[in-house]
Chain A
Amino acid sequence: MDSTVLHIKQLSKKYKDVLALDNLNLKVEKGTVFGLLGPNGSGKTTTLGILLGVLRQSEGSYSWFGNGAASENRLRIGALLETPNYYPYLTAIQNLVIVAKIKKIDNVSERIDNALKVVNLYDRRNSNFKTYSLGMKQRLAIAGALLNDPEVLVLDEPTNGLDPQGIAEIRELIIKISKEGKTIIIASHILDEIEKVCTHVAILKFGNLIRQGTIGEIIGSDNFVIISSSDMIALNTAISNNNEMEVSKSKENEITIKVDKDMTTEMINKYFFDKGVVLSKLKSHSESLETQFLEIIK
């Protein structure tokens, strides 16, 4: 059994004079929570739009479940792309009935009730969509994506418009769903969100794939330590004499060095002490995805 859920080959999308997506190659394995990162206009939504059949790629191909680009694949996917798209004059239930018919779902009313309860919209199930706040609309879209209990969940900026509590709830939900062995693909520019839920990350910029790997590979490969000493000259010399250390940021009275992940602060302290440099400051500084991301897309 092939464990690849999604295989993207040399995918490109060209609008009139903009290359929105340039030769993207990606593989998403079953059970991963895959984060698609990138600043605004980097091609995240374009990529998802192509994968979900609403945009036509200029070149390249993609395959869901090893079954190409067939529309039936999407019956096994739950997706939320850009904005929540529903009929304003229909209620939450009436809107989801349409989704259920498209997805060919059985026991419709039970599924709809469940999905609405999961996103905390059950009390407003009979209100028209147009009366919803932005956050509620977003919740309904998530309910729509969850309706068919999909094998793959594709979420484009899922916490858009949600309040902090709503964001935390959706995050919990994503983690819960991923624990059921489902595959989740999330596009977002909120890095905190990605860092907390994703196992794998791909970073896009101007339609190009810049980095790809497990979240550990992206943020955890290096360890950063802030050090300081009364003798900064000797400190600098000691750093340059050690090829396992690299100056990352240098200020007047403190230096951030990049060291191997296996190197503990104790080892660092000992190294400098042996070199005759006494550290007045030694602080481990774990790099967040955010700083890493800003570094990468520079």
Chain B
Amino acid sequence: MLNLLSIEYSKVKNYTTFWVMLIIYAALIPLIIWGISAFDFGQEGTPLYWEGSSVFKFPVVWNGVTWVASWFNLLLGILIVLIICNDFNYRTFKQNVIDGLSKQQVIASKFLFLIALAIVVTLYTFLLGTIFGLAFSDGGNMLDDIYYIGIYFIQTIGYFTLAFLFSILLRKTALSIIIFTLAIIVVNPLISLAISLTIGDNSIVQFFPINSISELTPFPLKWLTDMVQSNPESQSQGMEQVNMLISQPIRTVVATIYIAIFVFISNLILKKRDL
């Protein structure tokens, strides 16, 4: 297993695009957080200012950091598409098999790499959460909502396996990137909106694959709740809407089921098809 991972690492070790995209990801998240924190604390006397609450205090910070990080899951998904389609373009999947890997090992090595990358970015968000949390609060209730870090891991796996599925299906880099991106930022939101408006709520669309995965790291509700409570006038029907959302554990299970389905289909396609 380590050998398979080491093979995959050799493929990206000197791949500039891979590192550039990772650095962009790593740099943007703290930058955004810094930007939000400036807005978050606001200026005393402005309407946005409320006392005592911040999205970057423990334990809300776990939700906050993973929420911001999730904006860039698409970027990481594209990175996965790139890495997998490269192996199709350069016919190196084929060569790996000729050289002695089984087809199952070829698939497994990609999955292992994808999991390893998910672990790395999850640890990175954990690090950012810790740093910002400690910067804006004391570490007393640090571990309260730390499950968001675990959920972020599942979320990245969700995006990665979806990217994997698209790459296996389409095999062409540009096509896969375009369709993967459009599915996430255009097609899914439009369909979801249309259905939600038709039936009057989002009870069904939140079970959609991309929705259930992307909403794993929702907008930090606690932050909102705190904000709303500190400002009673703005207590609105928005909260009722919020209460209709499925609970985090259920959403996690649903997302995990989708991940299993993505993996299953990708595996099936690769097994049936000639490399």
Contacts and interface: CB of A to CB of B under 8 A. Distances in A.
Interface of A: 49, 52-56, 71-72, 74-75, 77, 79, 81, 83, 85-91, 94, 97-99, 101-104, 144
Given A98-B10, A101-B7, A87 B97 contact: no
B230 interface: no
A53 B14 contact: no
Interface of B: 3, 6-7, 10-11, 13-16, 86, 90-92, 94-103, 105, 274-275
B72 to A, nearest CB: 24
Given A74-B99, A98-B11, A54 B92 contact: no
A81 B94 CA distance: 9
A79 B274 contact: no
Nearest to A154: B98
Counting chain B CB atoms within 10 Å of each CB, which of A54, A77, A86, A88 scores highest?
Answer: A54
A71 B102 contact: yes
Contact of A53 (B13, B16, B92, B98): B98
A54 B274 contact: yes
A87 B102 contact: no
B19 to A, nearest CB: 12
Contacts of B7: 98, 101-102
Contacts of A53: 97-98, 102-103
A242 B7 CA distance: 69
Given A54-B275, A81-B94, A101-B3, A87 B101 contact: no
A144 B105 CA distance: 20
Nearest to A77: B100
B99 A87 contact: no
Given A54-B98, A85-B92, A101-B10, 15 more contacts: A54-B94, A74-B97, A74-B98, A75-B100, A77-B100, A81-B94, A81-B98, A85-B91, A86-B92, A88-B90, A90-B11, A97-B10, A101-B3, A102-B101, A104-B100
Contact of B97 (A71, A88, A98, A104): A71
B99 A99 contact: yes
Contacts of B90: 85-88
Nearest to B13: A94
A171 B191 CA distance: 62
Contacts of A54: 94, 97-98, 274-275
A247 to B, nearest CB: 48
B274 A86 contact: no
9 contacts: A53-B97, A53-B102, A54-B94, A74-B99, A81-B98, A86-B92, A87-B90, A89-B14, A98-B96
Contacts of B91: 83, 85
Contacts of B102: 53, 71
Counting chain B CB atoms within 10 Å of each CB, which of A52, A53, A77, A144 scores highest?
Answer: A53
B94 A85 contact: yes
A99 B6 CA distance: 12
Given A87-B86, A88-B90, A144 B99 contact: yes
A53 B105 CA distance: 12
Contact of A103 (B13, B94, B100, B105): B100
B160 to A, nearest CB: 21
A71 B97 CA distance: 8
A98 B4 CA distance: 10
Nearest to A76: B100
A77 B99 CA distance: 8
Contact of A72 (B16, B100, B275): B100
A55 B100 contact: no
Contacts of A98: 7, 10-11, 96
B275 A87 contact: no
Contacts of B86: 87
Contact of B14 (A52, A83, A90, A104): A90
Given A86-B90, A90-B14, A101-B3, A56 B274 contact: yes
B98 A89 contact: no
A52 B97 contact: yes
